[in-house]
Structure 1
């Protein structure tokens, strides 16, 4: 009855709010409400095995509360992504379902089922959800990654595929990437020299973050620093603030914000996520917008100059024209797409390399084997170049293994179903959010032998000379996803990752800092990074003339 339904909704939402604000003790009011909800749950809520439109069951999962679904459990269990991930283990079916508000969230950790979603039924799951975080990060869903299926996504996908991330365009920007790889080595070498040539303790996480940031800034804006940087080649205050804001944005994109599932609560900002996202985005925009506005103005003022040519990806986006020789994308679309590319470039390569180096320190024979390969292929009289990377199969296998065992995010970017469909014998309703578990796939014991052990050799084919690919099209783990909404920057991301790892291994001998007997490979409770940033002792291992001045 409408009256009963309305009462249940009000009580359910109120109980959820109380649970959010009171996280440790049950008040008498809360206890009363919970008892009422438990009764309502079984009287008014369907179980998670049937739907109104089909006799095919939903995937297994906890029985939802009326109206709010499983949001109370989501609020109670922190960090939220670990509770969500645990449901897959409990279901033991390779697929599970929870209802958050009115949205069915489908979880997958079986590669066979994952391929059914993103290969067999790829067209059905080609949309994206409307969330608070992606609304801000994409300036209202103007960029390619987070735009829902439709004309805007198709338009931006064409622009990025043909104008920005094509093989020819990446080749055109090779010199800029080489410059930043040289700066990486110079920065660490200078730190070593500052200590009298006896080496230095290096924050590998910081170095990896800023190398990735430098590469995409150089390609996008033709500049390394927003400020003056440091004399040793390291980041200045501006770059540290900027990269910190980007890391915050990326964290909030995967944070299971309550208002994404109950939009009527967004004005309350119960998690504090919206306030935090606004602050982080404002920092990113503070650095991006003046450069973009000035560049657009500059091109308009000298549009008649026949000799001026594009210098970077920002120029490419500004100069993209439609069939009538009009600007193909607007200023807001340019700004959204610039940010989109920056967000995609920083965290994945840096996280993989930090974890790979940590794991290789824990197994010194792996480190020695990778270094020996570099010395054999490249030698010690010049630095590794991108043309060498396809011949460094063991180094590539180490990077691939890091992607498998230590993904940067717990789940892939959500896919949204545009219609009802049956997958793997289960009913998936229209508008469901599908999350492939990066951890569940990469550490699946039914797929991988010794899944929790770092074993690069598992990726080497006996007798094969083909370069090891960092992507995984069969979805046994996720590095760059798959399907029409898969990562468009797979080539760039792979080159950045392998170059970062190879330059670190070639240029320096890495050991534990003095006084440290073992390396801590603990995973952070809040995310999937190392619990503590990786600090290692670096010592130059090449002749002085090889290092960039």
Structure 2
């Protein structure tokens, strides 16, 4: 009896194996993008170094502008040219409009309750609608111009107070962006300029958020290693979640307390926090806006309005301080258009093409996100003749695209002049320059971000002379936003009449 059972089991196993083999042979051969042969278990994770976009860039030189890797058992496609970016972000935008379920979205974005990591669907559409109507409409942005003016004055005053001393410029840029963003989004700073500890704590949390949201977490790709947390990233994400959650709870509780004493006629003066809390109480809302959703939306705005703008200005200054002719040419333009008796205002930007060209060149060579936040295939799709499977993660390497010799002459050189006399779109239709992404997932805050970058860079160049206190370092520190590995340290001397500071 035992022998008969063993024979039956072996026969069944052989039949199953033969059936599976025949089924595979009958399936049409899939034409997947080229790429390196994956190792068992880890796939191609061994090929990704500490600066992932550079690793992908060097791999693309061998395998081409579209290539497929394996992270663990999961397929990952990397697009490294404007044409391939267009395929994923415009031609097949609906297929790749969602996000992969990564640890960063779970642990630092209230279980995908924000807009950055939210899957494509009703919640994401509601978040985008709120952003476009309540934060980034032309009317809303204009209504907060006085905030940006006041914080610009605070920035130049702080820099004048430390003139002659070496300063880490990024700290001052972040102070401007955090202060302005908090006031525009939360209604007030939630720290005083004299309270260095509170500001440094908030800046530290934002720095950690960007680092962890750009991290390649091994357990995202090899799930059975999750319990080990080999890199320690998940533990750090949970710690950061608790710190950020305490901050958001403090902000929300403060607004709820103040709402109780607000008269109905004062509603027009409510901040975004107040409006989100009111929407959360609306039973007729198509999608339930939970307290965690409110926190996630506020967190996206706080993060998106601070680090990205500061990093762009720091990269621009790192580049132009290595080329005195660029600073000289920019200052000549500012003196000619603005004069020496006032600061640069937002309505001056259209008359400053060279300063604008510096910003565009910085965004080309040092994009805000060297890898756009990952896209994810919701269905099988054929892209540029290649078969892309449902469940594939797609990465757009804007760092490679900005160095594409087919799109840019002398791509490794910092040459603002390449943009002079040309109409170059930065908002998603020119796939050779994608500082804000493109398609459905394009950053909705691009207009406000550009205003803040232009304001900081133009006024710093207009009101100060720079001397390097330490050599400029162009090495990168990777994250969702990539910074100079070594912060820019300068000595600044004011050049405008003292009463302007």
**Superposition TM-score, scaled by structure 2 size:** 0.89
Among residues 447, 461, 465, which one is paired with 2:421 in the alignment?
Answer: 461
Instruction: Quote the residue 1:210 is aligned against.
Output: 175
Between the aligned partners of 2:76 and 2:161, the Cα distance in structure 1 is 49
Instruction: Quote the residue 2:16 is aligned against.
Output: none
Counterparts of 1:367-386 in structure 2, within 5 Å, are: 367-386=327-346
Instruction: Quote the residue 1:433 is aligned against.
Output: 393
Instruction: Quote the residue 1:41 is aligned against.
Output: none
Q: Give the CA deviation at 1:541.
A: 0.6
Among residues 453, 475, 481, which one is paired with 2:437 in the alignment?
Answer: 481
Instruction: Quote the residue 2:32 is aligned against.
Output: 58
From the superposition, tell whether residues 209 and 127 of structure 1 become closer, same or farther in structure 2 (CA, over 3 Å).
Answer: same
**Greater shift after overlay, 377-386 or 305-314?**
305-314
From the superposition, tell whether residues 137 and 57 of structure 1 become closer, same or farther in structure 2 (CA, over 3 Å).
Answer: same
| Contact map agreement 1:163 1:317 (CA 8 A) in 2 | no
Q: Which has the higher contact order (CA 8 A, sep 6+)?
A: 2
**Alpha-carbon deviations, 1:43-66, whole Å to 9, x = none?**
x99xxxx99965342111111234
Instruction: Quote the residue 1:110 is aligned against.
Output: 81
Counterparts of 1:125-136 in structure 2, within 5 Å, are: 125-136=96-107
Among residues 52, 56, 61, which one is paired with 1:89 in the alignment?
Answer: 61
From the superposition, tell whether residues 135 and 364 of structure 1 become closer, same or farther in structure 2 (CA, over 3 Å).
Answer: same
**Alpha-carbon deviations, 1:318-369, whole Å to 9, x = none?**
3448695899733221111000111212222111111111211111111111
Among residues 438, 462, 465, which one is paired with 1:509 in the alignment?
Answer: 465
Q: Give the CA deviation at 1:489.
A: 0.6
| Contact map agreement 1:128 1:416 (CA 8 A) in 2 | yes
Instruction: Quote the residue 2:492 is aligned against.
Output: 538
SS at match of 2:305: helix
Between the aligned partners of 1:285 and 1:141, the Cα distance in structure 2 is 14
Instruction: Quote the residue 1:196 is aligned against.
Output: none
**Ranges in structure 2 where 5+ consecutive residues have no aligned partner:** 1-8, 11-19
Between the aligned partners of 1:132 and 1:180, the Cα distance in structure 2 is 35
**Alpha-carbon deviations, 1:449-500, whole Å to 9, x = none?**
11111111111226xxx7x654352221321000001111110111111111
From the superposition, tell whether residues 302 and 114 of structure 1 become closer, same or farther in structure 2 (CA, over 3 Å).
Answer: same
Among residues 430, 435, 447, which one is paired with 2:407 in the alignment?
Answer: 447
SS at match of 2:264: coil
Q: Give the CA deviation at 1:304.
A: 4.9
1:316 aligns with 2:275: yes
**Ranges in structure 1 where 5+ consecutive residues have no aligned partner:** 4-43, 193-198
Between the aligned partners of 1:447 and 1:228, the Cα distance in structure 2 is 46
From the superposition, tell whether residues 525 and 357 of structure 1 become closer, same or farther in structure 2 (CA, over 3 Å).
Answer: closer
1:228 aligns with 2:192: yes
**Alpha-carbon deviations, 1:156-202, whole Å to 9, x = none?**
1222222222111111222112211111111111222xxxxxx3322
1:144 aligns with 2:115: yes
Instruction: Quote the residue 2:90 is aligned against.
Output: 119
Instruction: Quote the residue 1:522 is aligned against.
Output: 474
Between the aligned partners of 2:385 and 2:377, the Cα distance in structure 1 is 16
Counterparts of 1:260-409 in structure 2, within 5 Å, are: 260-299=220-259, 301-302=260-261, 304-320=263-279, 324=284, 329-409=289-369
Q: Give the CA deviation at 1:531.
A: 2.9
Among residues 50, 65, 70, which one is paired with 2:44 in the alignment?
Answer: 70
**Greater shift after overlay, 536-545 or 526-535?**
526-535
| Contact map agreement 1:137 1:281 (CA 8 A) in 2 | yes
Between the aligned partners of 2:288 and 2:215, the Cα distance in structure 1 is 34
SS at match of 2:436: coil
**Alpha-carbon deviations, 1:422-468, whole Å to 9, x = none?**
11111111111110102100111221111111111111226xxx7x6
| Contact map agreement 1:64 1:70 (CA 8 A) in 2 | yes
| Contact map agreement 2:337 2:351 (CA 8 A) in 1 | yes
| Contact map agreement 1:221 1:312 (CA 8 A) in 2 | yes
Between the aligned partners of 2:214 and 2:492, the Cα distance in structure 1 is 34
SS at match of 2:68: strand
From the superposition, tell whether residues 425 and 324 of structure 1 become closer, same or farther in structure 2 (CA, over 3 Å).
Answer: closer
Between the aligned partners of 2:222 and 2:165, the Cα distance in structure 1 is 50
Q: CA RMSD in A?
A: 2.7
SS at match of 1:298: helix
In the alignment of these two chains, the number of paired residues is: 479
**Alpha-carbon deviations, 1:191-226, whole Å to 9, x = none?**
22xxxxxx33221121122222122111122223x3
SS at match of 2:441: coil
Instruction: Quote the residue 2:142 is aligned against.
Output: 171
